[in-house]
Amino acid sequence: MIKIDVDMNKCQHYGQCVFEAPEVFQLNADDKLEYKAEAPDEMLADLEAAADVCPMQAIMLTRE
């Protein structure tokens, strides 16, 4: 599994990650980010793409 951490002190809710990995990241009705804390290994490329495009570089991924 891949563990997903978003530093919510950094996150500005731009939602760029949503486009790269919509299964994990979503903007809710208030335009705030919501995300799943874990995802299967085969999603690594999408998750890395999401981490790459985060303007605040707030997304951290850990292989478990």
- Binding residues for another protein (CB under 8 A): 12-16, 18-19, 27, 31, 45, 48, 52-53, 55-57, 60
Shortest distance (Å) from residue 52 CB to another protein: 5
Please list, in sequence order, all residues whose beta carbon lies within 8 angstroms of the beta carbon of residue 25, skipping any fewer than 6 positions away.
Answer: 15, 17, 18, 33, 34, 35, 50
The CA-CA-CA angle for residues 36, 7, 32, to 5°, reads: 60
Residue whose CB is less far from another protein, 29 or 40:
29
Shortest distance (Å) from residue 15 CB to another protein: 5
Residue whose CB is less far from another protein, 5 or 38:
5
